[in-house]
């Protein structure tokens, strides 16, 4: 699958972002092609999460452009971007703790253009991938375990039927069994043609799951290459991640 079609699905061009006075992103450029899994690596604090937030419209860049399917969307508010087809699974999950599992899913599911039949389909699909959510569907989100909340966060984003899902450290703090479940979900989503931008500290998993890798340091992209060209013990990886 070519990862440079006519228009990449989503593209960041020379993004500069500030938090107050702090210059967090110094000209970040990256793109994710349709249906491609892109991994974003880098040490803590280099601006990976901020990059995702900027893509999601939750943070406004002071300079630079965001493009989605060829259209400039830099100034669109987050809820419009979500409706356009960007799903977001943040660090620390942030599910709605006081809403039930079902209600959490409905925040993404309840869209005017979706028919009742399709809603049922989507729910059944997600319950098939995450049976534990089906069990706990009427339980409040806050009562779920860490791993279950992660499942819910991903399932919730899937309810938007997004073209791309932004995953911010999905395996953090999870047991190995859950980590491999996440790995499987990434594959499933990829098979369905959903693009993924994966931010992770787990280097081996990222290299395995992605087709393309970007490496960030100090607020900018230092290196990018097809994942096949990178190995865990590569000099490049060592240099930027000290792994």
Partner 1 sequence: MGIEQLVQAIPFDQLLVQTINGIVAGMILALVASGLTLIFGIMDVVNFAHGELFMLGAYVGVIILAATGDFWIALLAASIAIALLGAAIHVTVLRPLLGRDPLTTILATFGISLVLQNYALWQFGPVARKIQEPFTGHFTLFYLEYPWYRLVIALLSAGIIGALWLFLKFGTYGIWIRATTQDRVMAQAMGIPVPRVLTAVFAIGSGMAAASGVLFGPLVGVNHAMGLDWVLKAFIVVVVGGMGNLGGSIAASIFISLLESYASLWVSPAQAVIFSFVVLILTLLFRPTGLFVPTPK
| 74 three-state secondary structure | coil
Helix (H) or strand (E) run with residue 168 in it = strand 164-168
- Taking the complex as a whole, the smallest distance from the CB of residue 126 to partner 1 amounts, in Å, to 15
Q: If we measure between CA atoms, which residue out of 78, 87, 110 comes closest to residue 197?
A: 87
Q: How far is the CB of 103 from partner 1 (least distance, A)?
A: 5
Residue position matching structure tokens 């013990």? 233
Sign of CA dihedral 181, 182, 183, 189: positive
User: C-alpha angle 16/11/111, rounded to 5°?
Assistant: 105
**Segment interacting with partner 1 (CB under 8 A) among 95-103, 132-140, 224-232, 235-243:** 95-103
**Subset of residues 43 to 72 that bind partner 1, contact rule: CB under 8 A:** 56-58
Residues 187-216 touching partner 1, rule: CB under 8 A, are: none
Residue 179 tokens read as: 């980590």
Site string for partner 1, 97-116 (x = CB under 8 A): xxx---x--xxx-xx-----
- Binding characters for partner 1, 131-170, by CB under 8 A (x = yes): -------------------------x---x----------
Q: Under the criterion CB under 8 A, does residue 90 sit at the interface with partner 1? A: yes
Residue with tokens 């809820």: 79
Q: How many residues bind partner 1 (CB under 8 A)?
A: 24
Please give the distance of CA 190 from its chain centroid, rounded to a whole number. 12
Residues contributing to the site for partner 1 (CB under 8 A): 56-58, 77-79, 82-83, 88, 90, 94-99, 103, 106-108, 110-111, 156, 160
């Amino acid at each position: 699958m070519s990862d440079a079609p006519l228009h990449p699905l989503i593209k960041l061009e020379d993004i500069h972002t500030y938090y107050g006075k702090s210059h967090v992103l110094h000209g970040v450029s990256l793109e994710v092609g349709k249906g491609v899994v892109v991994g974003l690596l880098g040490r803590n604090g280099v601006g990976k999460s901020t990059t995702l937030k900027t893509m999601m419209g939750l943070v406004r860049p002071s300079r630079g452009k965001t493009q989605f399917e060829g259209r400039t969307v830099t100034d669109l508010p987050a809820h419009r971007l979500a409706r356009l087809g960007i799903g977001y699974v943040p660090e620390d999950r942030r599910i709605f703790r006081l809403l039930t599992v079902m209600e959490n899913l409905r925040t993404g599911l309840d869209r005017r253009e979706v028919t009742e039949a399709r809603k049922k389909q989507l729910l059944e699909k997600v319950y098939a991938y995450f049976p534990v959510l089906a069990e706990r569907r009427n339980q409040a989100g806050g009562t779920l375990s860490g791993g279950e909340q992660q499942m819910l966060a991903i399932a919730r984003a899937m309810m938007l039927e997004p073209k791309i899902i932004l995953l911010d450290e999905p395996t953090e703090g999870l047991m190995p069994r859950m980590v491999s479940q996440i790995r499987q979900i990434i594959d499933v989503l990829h098979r369905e043609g959903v693009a993924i931008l994966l931010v992770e500290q787990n280097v081996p998993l990222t290299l395995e799951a992605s087709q393309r890798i970007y490496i960030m340091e100090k607020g900018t992209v230092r290196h990018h290459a097809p994942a096949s060209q990178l190995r865990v013990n590569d000099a490049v990886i060592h240099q930027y991640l000290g792994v």
